[in-house]
Structure formats: structure tokens, C-alpha cells
Amino acid sequence: MSSSSYAHYSVWDQTVNIVYVVEMVFYCLILFAAVAALFRRSQIATAAFLILMAVLKICGLSIALDLAVRLVKSYNSGSLGRYYYWGGNAYDLAIAEVVLLSLSIAALVCATVSLCFAGHWPIWTHILAYGLVALPAILYIVVYALVGSGVQYSVSKLIEAADVLYLALYVIIVITGGVMYAVQRKSSDGVRFVGMLTVMLAVPFFLVRLIYYIVNDFGTFLNITGWKFYLPLQVVMEFMVSLIYVVGLHFMITRHHRIARTEVEIGDESTEGTKSHPTQAGP
């Protein structure tokens, strides 16, 4: 069949591709803001995880747009079927896209850990929390590696398990962070308060995002596929979480520097007072 028998389409005929571009622009801005926070030399872990999240998002969305362009080109050339048989290239790219976007959620949960437990916490608590968050991320990688190698047995169950793990770990992290803050509130500084406030403001949006993941992957009776659900339940929710985290991060850094300056000023005043009123020696 000649290519003239096909209607010619543009990448922008699919609304979801426009959404991808908007997402890429947004995460480029988030990346810039997170890098700026990194150079302010405070809350480095949170800034690093937000940078990682933004980079993973940008890479995953770039692959999604590349696949959309390939699909449109093959359709317009009258060889749509070839899209699925490019030596596995397109299929491998689709798997890479899903893995990268899934790992971005892990980076965002790790940022939640660093915000919840901001301050002088034992290093083992951070390592334990990050290790637990890594479990569903590793599970996702294994699942899509199996899919890429042609193994389909029980893959859907593993994906569902990873989704539930993300949700369970996020809830545990938020509750634990909140309880510890409440217990130690009197001895906590303003930085810790801003960190917990940032996490709590993002909780509704993060929960909706994670539940949307679960409902989609579990294949329930709810039909929430398509860009009309993807936009409000995933894109907007992730936008809100990322924006709240970045703004909260910069407020935490500002508060940290303000406290540090105050401590230095108090120390200087104490030193000057000691010099101006030396201790009188005994007879």
C-alpha cells in the first residue's frame, strides 16, 4: 500500500506529546533550581535527590518523545508495522523510558527522607531509609529486564508489589518523621520545622500520584487510562510535589544560614563581652 493511502499525522496531533514537552520544560526549571540550591552549600542530600529526579524525568520524557516521533514517521511512511520490529530497538527504548520514570519516583521518595530527617541524625538512619526505598526501584529494574528478555511470567505481580512497596514506604517515612519531630519538637531548630512542613504540604499530592500508579497497574474496574487522567493524576501531582520540595528546600537553606549567622553573632558578642570585662584576679 502506498504512503498516499495514509493520512499524514504530526507528533503534536497527540495531546500527550504536548504534555511531555511541558513536563520537560518544567523539570529543566526544577533542575536549575536544585543545582542552585546545591551551590548554597546546605541540605546537599535533598538537592542531590531532586537533581537526580529531574535528570531521570528529562531522560525518560526525551525517550517518550523520540518514540512518538518514530511512530508518526513510520505511520506517515505507510510502514507502521516496522515500528515494532526495528531489531528490538524501539521496544528496548520503551522499557528504558518506563524504568527511568519509575526511578524518578524513588529519587523523590529519597528526597522525602532527607526532608523528614533533616538535621543531625545518625548516618545509619539515612542509609536504612535509602536502602528500603531502593528495594522497589530494584524490583522495577528486574521486572523490566525480564520483560526485555521475553520473560512474562508473573511480571504483573512484581510490578504491583513494587507499587505497593513505594506507597507503604512513603507512608511509613512520613509518619515516622512526623512522630520523631513531635517528640523532639522542643529541641528541633527552624530548619527541621520547615522540612516537615514541606513534606506535609506535599503529602496529598504524593498520595494521589502513588495511588494512581497502583490503580493503573492493578488493572482494576476503574478506567483511568489516557492523557485526560494522566495529566491531572500524574503530571500535575508530580509538578506540585516537585515544586513544594524545591521551594521548601530553599527556605530550609535560608533558615539554616540565618541560624548560623545568629550563632556567629552571639559568639562574637560573647567574646567581646569577655574582653571588655576581664575576670578580676584575686589578691
pLDDT digits (tens, 9 = 90+) for 31-46: 999 999 999 888 899 9
In-domain check, residue 128: no
What is the predicted pLDDT for the residue at 269? 59
Collapse the DSSP code of 224 into the 3-class scheme (helix H, G, I; strand E, B; otherwise coil) and give the result.
coil
Q: Are 217 and 160 in contact (CB under 8 A)?
A: yes
Is 254 a member of any domain?
A: yes
pLDDT range class, residue 281, cuts 50, 70, 90 = very low
DSSP for 41-63? TSSHHHHHHHHHHHHHHHHHHHH
Averaged confidence pLDDT in the chain = 81
φ and ψ at 272, to 5 degrees? -65, -40
Query: What mean pLDDT do residues 13-33 have?
Result: 93
Confidence of residue 271 (pLDDT cuts 50, 70, 90): low
- For residue 267, is it within any domain? no
pTM metric for this prediction? 0.85
Q: Is it the case that residue 222 has pLDDT exceeding 60?
A: no
CA-to-CA dists, residue 235 to 131, 149, 231, angstroms: 27, 30, 5
Work out the pLDDT band at 239, boundaries 50, 70, 90: very high
Judge contact between 141 and 168, C-beta under 8 A.
Answer: no
- Tens digit of each residue's pLDDT (9 = 90 or more) over 197-221: 999 999 999 999 999 888 877 765 4
Report pLDDT for 85: 43
User: Could you tell me which residue, 52 or 70, shows the higher pLDDT?
Assistant: 52
Could you tell me if residue 97 is inside a domain?
Answer: yes
User: For residue 244, is pLDDT > 50?
Assistant: yes
Does residue 237 have a pLDDT over 60?
yes
**Do the domain assignments include residue 95?**
yes
> Can you give the pLDDT at residue 1?
43
Domain-embedded: residue 213: yes
Q: Tens digit of pLDDT for each residue in 115-157?
A: 988 766 677 777 888 888 888 888 888 887 777 666 655 667 7
- Please, which pLDDT band fits residue 62 given cuts at 50, 70 and 90? very high
Q: Is residue 1 part of a domain?
A: no
Q: What is the mean pLDDT of residues 16-34?
A: 95
Tens-digit pLDDT profile for residues 78-118 = 665 554 444 456 777 888 888 898 899 999 999 999 998 87
Mean pLDDT of 243-254: 95
Q: What's the one-letter identity of residue 241?
A: V
Q: Domain limits at 200?
A: 10-116+133-258
In a domain, 282, yes or no: no
Give the separation between CA 39 and CA 200, rounded to whole angstroms. 26
Q: Looking at per-residue confidence, does 201 or 159 come out higher?
A: 201
CATH code of 79's domain? 1.20.1070
Q: How many domains does the chain have?
A: 1
